[in-house]
Amino acid sequence: MRCDSVPALSLAVAVTLACGPSSRAPVIERGAEPPPVIMTGRGSTDVRTNPEVRSVEGVVPVPLDTAWQRLPAAWDGLGIPIRQADPRSGTLRSDRFRARSNMAGAPMRDNVDCGYSMAGPRADLWDVYLEVTSALRPEGGPQNTRVSSAIIATARPRDGSGTQPVGCTSTGRLERLIAERVRNPTT
């Protein structure tokens, strides 16, 4: 059973943008407490019942219209498909998509934490599904833009077994790469 998490993801990005601090810290991470973890056996496995939604944002020294032009290319370069682009709200959204085992030049375990099985990190061993939202807002004048991105991730065994999907937590790496590529499209 799949819940409609795009509104939750959009809400997380909107709340972060509305309530975020006015400081110019390079990256700010906001999210709920870590998801519940159940340890079994000798601590060799854990089960996460819900994905954590964390918004990662940064301020880039780029005008809003330039940032909007660069954002789709940043997503494309990271392998994130665009489902919806809304220039009025400055928001891009993806559908739920299966991420490859190596994304943005790194193994999935560097991008999301889905816990561990006896064989190793689930992010590397299972199919990982992502939903991504990025939003742009002017910040402190016409030459700066706040880039806020959030990811919902889940994982399922590749063998198609009846195991329920597990919730994953973003490491913040992809969100930071989105902001960096908006700042400097050649990275």
pLDDT of residue 51: 56
Packing angle, helices 64-78 and 173-183, rounded to 10: 130
Give the number of other CB atoms < 10 A from CB of residue 110: 17
Q: Quick one: what percent of the chain has pLDDT higher than 90?
A: 57
Q: Please, is 147 exposed, middle or buried when counting C-beta atoms within 10 Å of its C-beta (0-12, 13-18, 19+)?
A: buried
Q: What mean pLDDT, rounded, does the chain reach?
A: 78
Stretch 37-56: mean pLDDT: 51
Question: Is the model's pLDDT at 36 over the cut of 50?
Answer: no
Stretch 21-30: mean pLDDT: 40
CATH code for the structural domain at 6-183? 3.30.530.50
Residues 6+ apart with CB under 8 A from 35: 48, 49, 50, 51, 52, 167, 169
d(CA 46, CA 38): 5
79-138: per-residue pLDDT in tens? 999 999 999 999 999 999 999 788 999 999 999 999 998 889 999 999 999 999 999 999
**CB distance 129 to 156 below 8 Å:** yes
148-169: per-residue pLDDT in tens? 999 999 999 988 776 788 999 9
d(CA 102, CA 82): 19
How far does Cα 34 stand from its chain's mean position? 15
Structure tokens at 46: 């854990």
Give the number of other CB atoms < 10 A from CB of residue 159: 8
How many CA atoms are closer than 13 Å to the CA of 66, on its beta-carbon side? Answer: 14
How far does Cα 72 stand from its chain's mean position? 15
pLDDT of residue 117: 87
d(CA 81, CA 83): 7
